[in-house]
């Protein structure tokens, strides 16, 4: 039994069944605090780990947006859940080349990943919470961050819970599930308020759906494969599909402008990922195959291209980031 499962069973014995939200929050807090989950030997891979092209195009889109907003010198780069710091490093090269000299602010709770990020990017300011970001114009990116924040599941009017049954953890009920995530909406509301008051733009990239719909999307990943949700709590990555309609509404309610949702593949193609791949291939003739495969993984509809979505939230007096305007 994992150490977290022992703790959860004690809690359930003392307090009764816990909500899916409490379970997911406890599992991910433990999971991320105790390891670097990314890469071939980890549990999953993300777009910036597949190719430098991803972070470079994110950086180019933010740099272009910043320039069109008049290149404010008090703007900062901010990232939520930066993983290994790869996206930040790739994006920052593009931002620096465009003359952006602002600070880097990273929201990251995991001490293990903070250390990895420090090695990848050096100088940055770390925060535990989004609320701790300074009140400055933000050039913000969150890639596969929202999917790790906890969700609630309801079956009818009743919140779904986890209990101990038959010697293991089990759900208290099945049926048609409706998911919601106050944690995600709260995170986006904080960002949107800062954008509306101080300026800036945020790119939110994650797997999910453009329109709210019922359905059970909670999943566990371990060693690059799906795993049973209640097995080995704290030893596998728990995520769920992001409801972009819900977070878009939260951002608009907080006073920010929200772009339409676009698939990651379409967005990267609009930003010129094919030309970037050709240039990289010319400069690295020994890596032509690898670059072509990365392009395919990031954009093809049967890979990350369609399931992953991009949406921007920005200050009403800032332009929408490239490729996402109405
Ligand atoms: N953005 C990275 C990593 C995605 S994994 C990439 O694309 O490769 C999720 C990241 O979010 C990890 O860095 C994890 O430690 C962080 N994270 C998860 N829950 C968090 C929370 N509640 N607060 C801050 N960071 C969190």
Q: Is the CB of 145 under 6 A from ligand 1?
A: yes
For ligand 1, say whether the CB of 28 is within 6 Å of any of its atoms.
Answer: yes
* Ligand 1 near 46 CB (within 6 A): yes
- 38: helix, coil or strand? strand
Ligand 1 mutation pick, 141, 145, 183, 238, max ligand atoms within 8 A of CB: 145
How many angstroms separate the CA atoms of 121 and 217, rounded?
34
How remote is the CA of residue 107 from the centroid of ligand 1, in Å? 8
Does residue 89 sit in helix, strand or coil?
helix
Query: Are 225 and 237 contacting, i.e. CB atoms less than 8 angstroms apart?
Result: no
Say which residues have a Cβ less than 8 Å from residue 302's Cβ, sequence separation at least 6.
none
What is the rounded end-to-end Cα distance, in angstroms, of the chain?
Answer: 51
CA–centroid distance, residue 190 to ligand 1 (Å): 17
Mutate to test the pocket of ligand 1, among 27, 45, 83 (most ligand atoms within 8 A of CB): 83
pLDDT at res. 325:
83
User: Are 74 and 137 a contacting pair, CB within 8 Å?
Assistant: yes
> Does residue 212 line the site of ligand 1, with CB under 6 A?
no
- The answer to whether residues 240 and 179 touch, using CB atoms and an 8 Å cutoff, is yes
The predicted pLDDT at position 288 comes to: 98
User: Strand 257-258 and strand 262-263: pairing?
Assistant: unpaired
For the chain, how are helix, strand and coil distributed in percent, rounded to 5?
45, 25, 35
What gap in Å lies between CA 38 and CA 49, rounded to an integer?
8
Quote the ligand 1 centre to 81 CA distance (angstroms).
3
Contact at 8 Å (CB) between 135 and 127?
A: no
Q: Does the CB atom of residue 216 touch ligand 1 within 6 A?
A: no
C-beta 308 within 6 A of ligand 1: no
pLDDT tens by residue, the chain, 326 residues: 999 999 999 999 999 999 999 999 999 999 999 999 998 889 999 999 999 999 999 999 999 999 999 999 999 999 999 999 999 999 999 999 999 999 999 999 999 999 999 999 998 999 999 999 999 999 999 999 999 999 999 999 999 999 999 889 999 999 999 999 999 999 999 999 999 999 999 999 999 999 999 999 999 999 999 999 999 999 999 999 999 999 999 999 999 999 999 999 999 999 999 999 999 999 999 999 999 999 999 999 999 999 999 999 999 999 999 999 86
pTM above 0.95, yes or no: yes
Residue 262's Cβ-side half-sphere holds a number of Cα atoms within 13 Å equal to 22
Q: What strand order describes the sheet that includes 225-227?
A: 225-227, 219-222, 237-239
Query: 80 C-alpha to center of ligand 1: Å?
Result: 7
Separation between Cα atoms, residue 276 and residue 37, nearest integer Å: 28
- Cβ neighbours of residue 124 under 8 Å, at least 6 residues apart? 88, 103, 104, 105, 106, 117, 118
Q: Is the CB of 32 under 6 A from ligand 1?
A: yes
Contacts of 196 (CB under 8 A, 6+ apart): 254, 255, 256, 315, 316
DSSP 236-260: SEEE--EEHHHHHHHHHHTT-EEPP
Question: What is residue 287's DSSP assignment?
Answer: G
DSSP calls for 160-210: PEEEEETTEEEES--SSEEEE-HHHHHHHHHHHHHHHHH-EEEEEEEEEES
Q: Is the CB of 81 under 6 A from ligand 1?
A: yes
């Amino acid at each position: 039994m994992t150490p977290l499962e022992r703790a959860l069973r004690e809690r359930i014995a003392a307090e009764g069944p816990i909500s899916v939200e409490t379970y997911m929050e406890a599992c991910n807090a433990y999971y991320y605090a105790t390891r670097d989950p990314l890469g071939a030997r980890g549990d999953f891979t993300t777009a910036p780990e597949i190719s430098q092209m991803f972070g470079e195009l994110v950086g180019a889109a933010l740099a272009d947006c910043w320039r069109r907003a008049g290149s404010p010198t008090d703007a900062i780069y901010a990232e939520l859940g930066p993983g290994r710091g790869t996206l930040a490093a790739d994006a920052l090269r593009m931002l620096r080349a465009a003359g952006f000299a602002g600070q880097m602010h990273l929201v990251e709770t995991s001490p293990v990943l903070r250390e990895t990020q420090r090695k990848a990017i050096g100088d940055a300011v770390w925060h535990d919470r989004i609320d701790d970001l300074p009140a400055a114009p933000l050039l913000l990116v969150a890639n596969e961050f929202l999917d790790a924040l906890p969700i609630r599941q309801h079956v009818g009017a009743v919140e779904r819970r986890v209990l101990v049954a038959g010697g293991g953890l089990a759900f208290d009920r099945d049926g048609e599930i409706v998911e919601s995530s106050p944690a995600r909406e709260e995170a986006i509301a904080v960002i949107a308020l800062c954008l509306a008051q101080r300026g800036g733009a945020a790119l939110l990239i994650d797997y999910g759906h453009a329109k709210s719909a019922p359905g059970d999307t909670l999943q566990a990943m371990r060693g690059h494969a799906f795993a049973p949700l209640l097995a080995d709590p704290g030893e596998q990555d728990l995520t769920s599909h992001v409801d972009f309609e819900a977070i878009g509404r939260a951002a608009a309610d907080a006073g920010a402008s929200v772009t339409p949702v676009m698939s990651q593949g379409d967005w990267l193609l609009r930003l010129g990922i094919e030309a970037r791949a050709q240039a990289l291939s010319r400069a690295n003739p020994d890596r032509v195959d690898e670059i072509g495969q990365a392009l395919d993984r990031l954009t093809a509809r049967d890979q990350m291209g369609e399931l992953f979505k991009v949406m921007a939230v920005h200050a009403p007096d800032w332009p929408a980031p490239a490729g996402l305007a109405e």
